[in-house]
Amino acid sequence: MATPLAKATPHAPMRFAILASGRGSNAMALLDAFESGFIPAHVGVVISNKADAEVLSKAAARGYATQLIEHRGKTRAAHEQEVLACLRKQRIDHILLAGYMRIVSADFLREFSGKVLNIHPALLPDFPGLHAAEQQWQAGRKVVGATVHFVDAGVDTGQVILQGSLIARGDESADALAHRLLHEVEHLIYPRAVRLFLERMSYNEKDNTQ
């Protein structure tokens, strides 16, 4: 008699870490999406390099494990080793950078190749680097936007996953535009990009087993 085929065991939900350096509004939008099940995965830890980053208290208040790993006074390599140790301890599969004001090195990325996502407040490849929302305003762009992309060793050069845009009003300040971009675009596209990323991964897995 033929042996029945073993049932595919669905793997345990993926575990994400969120790395952020500031107020953490994108991190909170992501946590909303994890909690509602829109992103079918777990957040294992929220890490910040800044002691006064609001993201730490906001995430802790929602019951998440948080970790402060300060970079000050350490080499990039030493700091990254501490972050990697924390990620390993928490059995993290994927990393979401959300206003994380540190460049991650090629060494760090080697361990999480294709598994680190970032949000950037411009329509990449235009306006990489700092103050991108303001740069779009200064350039007088009519259509401004934000991008979720894979992180590679360059500055905002990784493959794009999802972009969203809005029409700039001629009369708004740079701050007002950045605020709208954050609330009307970034908070919407980041959770959707993460969901898309997971969907693509499971699609690729199925494709490989057929």
Burial 161-178 (b: 16+ CB within 10 A, else e): bbbbbeebeeeeeeeebb
Q: Which of 47, 83, 161, 182 binds ligand GRF (CB under 6 A)?
A: 182
Q: Is 94 a catalytic residue?
A: no
Rule CB under 6 A: choose which of 14, 16, 19, 24 binds ligand GRF.
24
Minimum separation from the CB atom of position 100 to ligand GRF (A): 7
- Single residue of 14, 17, 19, 20 touching ligand GRF by CB under 6 A: 20
Residue 22 is a binding residue for ligand GRF (CB under 6 A): yes
Rg (CA), the chain: 18
With 0-12 CB in 10 A as exposed, 13-18 as middle and 19+ as buried, what is 32?
middle
Cα(196)–Cα(111) distance, integer angstroms: 22
Q: How far apart are CA 196 and CA 210, in angstroms?
A: 21
Among 79, 120, 149, 187, the active-site one is 120
Does position 26 bind ligand GRF by CB under 6 A? yes
- C-beta of 81 vs 184, nearer to ligand GRF: 184
Residues 83-122 that bind ligand GRF (CB under 6 A): 98-99, 119-121
Q: Which of 210, 52, 45, 186 is nearest to 123 (CA)?
A: 186
Least Å distance, CB 10 to ligand GRF, is: 32
Active site amino acids? 120
Binding site for ligand GRF (CB under 6 A): 20, 22-27, 98-99, 119-121, 182, 186
